[in-house]
Amino acid sequence: MEDPISLRPVDAVEVAIVVDTFVDYLLAEPEGVRRFQLAYDWLDREQLVAEHGFAARVDVEVGGTRTSLLYDGGLSRNGLAQNLDVMGVNPKELRAIAISHGHGDHHGGLEGLFSRHGLRKLPLVIHPEAWRERKIVFPTGNEIHMPPPSKSDLEQEGLEVVEERGPSLLIDDTVLISGQVERVTVFEKGFPAHYALSGNEWIPDPMIIDDQNLIVHVKGKGLVVVSGCSHSGAVNVIHNARRLTGEQRIAGYIGGFHLTGGLFDPIIEPTVDAFVNLGVSRVVPAHCTGWKAVHALARRMPDAFVQPSIGTVFRF
């Protein structure tokens, strides 16, 4: 067995949902959850926008010092930048960016962010397979292009692109980007409708091996895991985080489960069963989790489940 990675525990971490498929200004605030607060003149202000994408700001706190990074960049050119502005987040305070995988709904908003704010040079961690051209072919025959980010464009924006297949430590060793996730479950078999361009030929690419997530270890609580789509399987993501760090407690899981659509209906039940058995303390199923899976998690894990909404901050 490999020695665990020396992930430095933090005093606290806050995960803010910046881009997601859902926004609701009137949701309740369970303990450790802070919803976006509307101003009195809210109708005269810019609003948070929802879209089929994901992005989160992650703030780690150690010894009274707070440091921020961005995980994923949403879909549309203006969505990420607008939501950060509405939330009062200054992108120039970011120390790093990490991309969960190469699909456009997780990096598309970075271009608009740079054009608006002119970010300074900072590292962007990405798996080398994320540059592949991809598409999804639905059972109906409909095809959707999933364009990768442009490495040259990112570098021209001043970003230091860091390609890494394995784990990466960021922010003074307090944030772990998992790298390629080890697949151990028998039921999480990837995305069968997914293809990648190899030369001039489209070939099956169900595993989407560039899928990676973000992990923080909170003192006395355990791991907080943030995942964009969990193409490697949400249960695999949990097992991999535990394997990498040696920490077995999961304080929180925030992000997509990719269980939406009929292709994934058969694995909703075993996924929820596994989360129950793993004792995940807080479950925040965002982005591509899907209606059926969200309700299954809420029904089976009522004390752990929290409905995500753009602008919500989760503190651990």
Q: What is the pLDDT along the chain (316 residues), one digit of tens a residue?
A: 678 999 999 999 999 999 999 999 999 999 999 999 999 999 999 999 999 999 999 999 999 999 999 999 999 999 999 999 999 999 989 999 999 999 999 999 998 787 777 666 899 999 999 999 999 999 899 999 999 999 998 998 889 999 999 999 999 999 999 999 999 999 999 999 999 999 999 999 999 999 999 999 999 999 999 999 999 999 999 999 999 999 999 999 999 999 999 999 999 999 999 999 999 999 999 999 999 999 999 999 999 999 999 999 999 9
Radius of gyration of the chain from its Cα atoms, rounded to whole angstroms: 18
Q: For residues 159 and 119, is the Cβ–Cβ distance under 8 A?
A: yes
CA 157 – CA 159 distance, rounded (Å):
6
Q: For residues 13 and 61, is the Cβ–Cβ distance under 8 A?
A: yes
pLDDT at 119: 66
**Which token pair is 88?**
């009062």
pLDDT at 308: 98
Task: Report which residue type is found at 194.
Answer: H
pLDDT at 157: 83
CA 178 – CA 132 distance, rounded (Å):
20
**Which token pair is 177?**
């980007």
CATH of segment(s) 12-315: 3.60.15.10
Query: What ranges in 88-233 are assigned the alpha helix state H?
Result: 110-117, 151-156
> Could you give the count of Cα atoms lying within 13 Å of 52 in the half-sphere of its Cβ?
8
pLDDT at 201: 97
DSSP state of 167: -
**Which token pair is 96?**
């790093």
Query: Side by side, which strands form the sheet with 283-286?
Result: 168-170, 175-177, 213-218, 222-227, 250-256, 283-286
**Which token pair is 112?**
């608009």
Where b means 16+ CB within 10 Å and e means fewer, 168-207 reads bebbeebbbbbbbbebebeebebbebbbbeeeeeeeebeb
Q: For residues 56 and 312, is the Cβ–Cβ distance under 8 A?
A: no
